[in-house]
């Protein structure tokens, strides 16, 4: 059974002005997501600034998210690391906190070999009993999981059930889905490729766009799954200007600014992330206005 089908939000982590986690706003944002039909909450991932959370903050945010959601949608915890042992420890903590599944990014900076990736993900998956979704985002990690490597990981670890594909390489994704023959759940990791990924057998998207437009992102997937590909494609294309603006600087800089513009009080970013350049902020405001968010 799939961990989820539809549009899951790669949730931001709201901060107070002093940089501490704003749990009151996190609760409000989770309720906003569920009220607007988000199909899953992905917490403490890249968009959640997990790289700058302390270990205790990381665990506490996962626990808080699970408790706030109360089983209404699946909670998927980001526990990937470039250190296998730390990733294992964090994954065990997330399982103990009640996460429904894990999202595990490829080891960054180390740039593991393909054989190393198999060993890394097998060790992490073997350490827990809940499902694991791989996360392939070579533009951020410098490491690309090849289709044959995904197949090897799935043979070695039965609880590796899905992959968030953000390579942008549709040909690679097609090769993966041909090789796996339905034995892995595919999620788009790029908001501008939801429909193309769905056409290759995708189950949905793990989305940055969903932070500001959860209902609309849900509908892109829901329409496709209902057989209305024309409507799904139209809604995908209507969102392209906004999606591009949300990635005109490194994620999650623009999306946190967008949420603040909407009055959602996402707060500041943690260094080394910095405020948007004025020209890019104006581009974001224009895109949000054109999409009906402002």
**What are the catalytic residues?**
135, 164
Separation of alpha carbons 75 and 8, rounded Å: 9
The length of the chain, given as a count of residues: 294
- 3 state SS of 275: coil
Query: What does the block give as tokens for 7?
Result: 């549009």
- Residue 293 CB contacts under 8 Å (≥ 6 apart), including other chains: 212, 213, 242, 258, 262
């Amino acid at each position: 059974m799939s961990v989820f089908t539809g549009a899951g939000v790669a949730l931001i982590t709201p901060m107070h002005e002093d940089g501490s986690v704003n749990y009151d706003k996190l609760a409000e944002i989770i309720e906003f997501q569920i009220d607007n039909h988000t199909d899953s909450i992905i917490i403490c991932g890249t968009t959640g600034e997990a790289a700058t959370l302390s270990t205790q903050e990381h665990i506490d945010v996962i626990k808080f998210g699970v408790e706030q959601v109360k089983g209404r949608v699946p909670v998927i915890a980001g526990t990937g690391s470039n250190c296998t042992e730390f990733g294992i420890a964090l994954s065990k903590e997330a399982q103990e906190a009640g996460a429904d599944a894990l999202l595990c990014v490829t080891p960054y900076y180390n740039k593991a070999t393909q054989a190393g990736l198999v060993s890394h993900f097998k060790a992490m998956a073997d350490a827990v009993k809940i499902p694991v979704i791989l996360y392939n985002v070579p533009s951020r990690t410098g490491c690309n999981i090849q289709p044959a490597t995904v197949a090897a990981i799935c043979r070695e670890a039965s609880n590796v059930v899905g992959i968030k594909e953000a390579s942008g390489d549709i040909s690679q994704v097609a090769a993966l889905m041909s090789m796996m023959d339905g034995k892995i759940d595919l999620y788009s990791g790029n908001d501008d490729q939801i429909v193309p990924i769905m056409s290759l057998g995708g189950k949905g998207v793990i989305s940055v766009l969903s932070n500001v437009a959860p209902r609309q992102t849900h509908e892109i997937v829901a329409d496709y799954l209902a057989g209305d590909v024309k409507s799904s494609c139209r809604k995908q294309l209507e969102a392209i200007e906004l999606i591009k603006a949300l990635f005109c600087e490194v994620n999650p800089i623009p999306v946190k600014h967008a949420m603040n513009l909407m009055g959602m009080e996402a707060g500041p970013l943690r260094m080394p992330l910095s405020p948007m350049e004025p020209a890019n902020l104006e581009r974001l405001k224009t895109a949000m206005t054109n999409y009906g968010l402002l």
